Structure 1
Amino acid sequence: MIKGINHKGFHVVDMERSLDFYCNKLGFKKAFELNQPSGEPWIVYVKVADGCFIELFYGGTEGVKNRAEHICFEVDDIQETAELLKKRGVPLEVEISKGMALNYQFWVLDPDGNWIEFMEMNPESPHMRS
């Protein structure tokens, strides 16, 4: 049976730049790497939480991606998270607002133009009530 979501994958242009963003700016940890059978680098896994990873694939393209294809991180305190990211040099592309589902959210872009949403859940939101 399905237990949950294990990972989300992104193609990246510059692996070191992306690792700096996900590890030093967002605070995640590099977990492990996988190489192609030929020995060429293929994927670097970044650990978000126990059993939850971001896959960073080599061979990405520059440019802002479709916002519908994003990842969302749930946070305890939206204000605190936004301030911490700003201090670490991550600009908010979309400032904190209350979404249609009653949760507070803001958005940033990773170095490859992938949209990342941060969300503080409202107990009255449909997410929490379903």
Structure 2
Amino acid sequence: MIRSVAHIAFNVKDIKKSLHFYCDILGLQMAFEMKDKNGNPWIYNVKVAEGQYLELIVGGVHEYSYKPGNVGFSHLSLEVEDINEIADNLRENGITIDVEPKLGRDMNYQCWAKDPDGNRIEFMQFSPSSPQVKGHW
């Protein structure tokens, strides 16, 4: 059956901006690139954790626009060691923090920002009392 999340895929408008954001700013590692049948750049796989990747797919043309309550993708959540460190790093790199670090209802620390294509990202620092750590609410 299901073992884990293998990847999340985003169509991206500008692969250089996306790779800069995910690799240079967030510190993730570019793992491998796949080319299309004509040898053109197609998919860039950025490693998040062992066996878990973000697939950045070249050629996105329509702007993404999140609307609360819409069916479908809402956000990507990335676990971090230190919520204030990631928030400071984002600010230092010119990334707007949409929600400043705070304690969420689930007892985890969180802050929010967007990637270059407008995808919402929640950065989350787990606390020992959180349901994600305990495995229940």
Contact 1:28 1:47 in 2 (8 A): yes
Note the C-alpha offset of 1:5: 1.1
Percent identity of paired positions between Structure 1 and Structure 2: 45
Note the C-alpha offset of 1:62: 2.5
Note the C-alpha offset of 1:113: 0.5
Aligned pairs, how many?
Answer: 130
Note the C-alpha offset of 1:96: 1.2
Note the C-alpha offset of 1:63: 4.1
1:37 equivalent to 2:42? Answer: no
The aligned counterpart of 2:79 is 74
What code does the residue aligned with 1:89 have?
G
Structure 1, unpaired ranges of 5+: none
Normalising by the residue count of structure 2, what TM-score does the alignment of the two structures yield? 0.85
Contact 1:64 1:112 in 2 (8 A): no
The aligned counterpart of 1:102 is 107
State the SS of the aligned residue for 1:79.
helix
Q: Per chain length, whose mean CA-contact separation is higher, i.e. which structure has more relative contact order (CA < 8 Å, sep 6+)?
A: 1
State the SS of the aligned residue for 1:100.
coil
Contact 1:25 1:90 in 2 (8 A): no
The aligned counterpart of 1:57 is 57
Choose the corresponding residue for 1:87, options 77, 92, 99: 92
- Name segments (4+ residues, structure 1) moved above 2 Å: 38-41, 61-69
